Chain A
Amino acid sequence: MEKLAAQLEVIVAAVGKLALADTSSVEATAQVGSLRNVTRADEVAPGLSADEALANASVQVAGFLRVPAIQ
């Protein structure tokens, strides 16, 4: 943890260099490329079954994911 904190301190100081860039006249990039409002055809297609979707769960019970209680 201490090692991580020390490393993060170095990294945060290094990326702090961003403050030196003159960004006063530019917009932030929201996305690269040329795409706008992409939608796909609204067609019914087969998807994963519940069993397939749950197959990798660490604990599943009767078609549900089981997790410990929130406390």
Chain B
Amino acid sequence: MTLLEEPIRELSRRLRAGEVSAVELTQEALARADQVDAALGAFLRLTPALALEAAAAADRRLRDDSGEAPILCGIPVAYKDVLCTKGVETTAGSQILRGFVPPYSATVVDRLTALGVVPLGKLNCDEFAMGSSNENSAYQVTRNPWDPERVAGGSSGGSAVAVAARLACATLGSDTGGSIRLPASFTGVVGVKPTYGRVSRYGLIAFASSLDQIGPLAKTVEDAALVLTAIAGQDPRDSTSVMAPVEGFLGELRKGVKGLRLGIPREYLEVGLDPGVRAVFERSVKTLEGTGAVIKEVSLPTTEYALSAYYVIAPAEVSSNLARMDGVRFGPGFPEAETLRDAYEHSRHDGFGAEVRRRVTLGTYALSSGYYDAYYLNAQKVRTLVAQDFDRAFAEVDAIISPTAPTAAFRLGERTADPMAMYATDILTLPANLAGISGVSVPAGFAQGLPVGLQVLGPYLGEATCLRVAQSLESEVELWNKLPPLALAAP
């Protein structure tokens, strides 16, 4: 058994008691990454020197001030490669940012650094976080530790696999249409998509700015709540971050669900659910009902249009956000070009993969004169309807539960030739991004040996309720300490 199998609270106790040092824990994490990750591809790059330096500093802090040291002090974490890390190459999984070394760190990275975490390295993701399988990374494919012939889910696939295979205690990902919750579901870990504005995005390489949120992935709901507590809160550097108290994530965790009203959206069960996924969901509903939750059916009638709205709005924002990727200020560029136009064309042609090109083109089209009203404006109106659906539902229930995805992890290559099939993977997760509300995916069971997550959606700033429901299920099903086969083949 590796130390990385322990929940953060227990590891922190052991660090404080001097049973293990942060340096030893970090050495074990780095050794595991060396041995296990060749078969998985979660890390794009490890940062052993930085990690050991941070671990030594954490040990000093724990020794000198163990009463006051934060609970995350000495805990090994890792970051999705869309988060800027000062002095450490950050590529967003794209060739166009190969060699980019940010001169500053994201606020979330700074906040965790200040608490004394140990940064192990940068995690693979779909290029600019665009994808549902992690097959769109320009560098490598991340495999699912439950079955290496299957996808990890995307776009925070590396972040999910690093936790699932016990290579890091917790990781950060980003969720624009399900990119934290989906890989969490596919790999059997907890993933939190906070409310829009809950977590500062300063230093997050933007994909779709009206939808992006940063959140934690972890083994247990409590671990995720600990990391969320550390990263949440207003930041003067991100004007979209919300001034709201960060509380209740931990305090309300074990209150149980007795009397809590949980809504099941009728439309979410009509999206072609895999029978195994449906069975796991039905068992989860019974389990939560058995612990005192009141189950109600609710309706989110705009669900059938949400996917279309998302795949207009997100690409539209992509076409605008990615205009800055011109190879001039960062990335390899194309210095031998004779004209500026040549330089842009070569940089972007060589730098962007197929999915990014599809979305930039689609977004540019949707925003172009003559098509703007039919696509972009109409999509933003549908977005209002999606938000109104949730408002009505949350007037009746405290949280909404559903499967996180219609299926468990699919086979590598199964959906790469058919973009619409890939996009449909996000059908149950992306409405929450359109509405800006909170959500969690928590391991709920297995279908044909593959993990299946339960999605819990809460209202605006409703993370505490989501986490409480997730904790209830976790306590009942006790899956958090079940390790995938590929995580076992190492020290």
Cβ of A62 under 8 Å from chain B = no
Q: A18-B312, A58-B335 are in contact. Are A32 and B435 (CB under 8 A)?
A: yes
What 1/0 mask marks residues of chain B from 381 to 397 whose CB sits below 8 Å from any chain A CB? 11111011000000000
Provide 26 A-B residue pairs closer than 8 Å at the C-beta atoms, listed in order of the A residue.
A7-B419, A11-B311, A12-B365, A15-B309, A15-B375, A18-B308, A18-B374, A21-B302, A21-B378, A26-B384, A28-B380, A29-B384, A29-B434, A31-B210, A32-B434, A32-B436, A33-B240, A38-B239, A40-B239, A53-B103, A56-B330, A65-B328, A65-B329, A68-B339, A70-B340, A71-B338
A53, B385: Cα distance in complex, Å: 42
Residues on A with beta carbons closer than 8 Å to the beta carbon of B240 = 33, 35, 38
A7, B419: Cα distance in complex, Å: 7
Q: How large is the interface on A (under 10, 10 to 19, 20 to 34, 35 or more residues)?
A: 35 or more
What 1/0 mask marks residues of chain B from 354 to 390 whose CB sits below 8 Å from any chain A CB? 1001100110011000000011011111111101100
B contacts with A, residue count (CB < 8 A): 63
Instruction: List B102-134 residues whose CB lies under 8 Å from chain A.
Output: 103-104
Cβ of B341 under 8 Å from chain A = yes
A67, B423: Cα distance in complex, Å: 37
A residues neighboring B (CB under 8 Å): 4, 7-8, 10-12, 14-21, 23, 26-35, 38-41, 48, 52-59, 65, 67-71
B residues neighboring A (CB under 8 Å): 99-101, 103-104, 195-197, 210, 236, 239-240, 242, 302, 304-305, 308-309, 311-312, 327-335, 337-343, 354, 357-358, 361-362, 365-366, 374-375, 377-385, 387-388, 419-420, 423, 434-436, 460
Q: A18-B308, A19-B378, A21-B305 are in contact. Are A69 and B358 (CB under 8 A)?
A: no
A33, B241: Cα distance in complex, Å: 10
Q: A18-B378, A70-B340, A71-B339 are in contact. Are A10 and B419 (CB under 8 A)?
A: yes
Query: Smallest CB–CB gap between A22 and chain B, Å?
Result: 8
A11, B421: Cα distance in complex, Å: 10
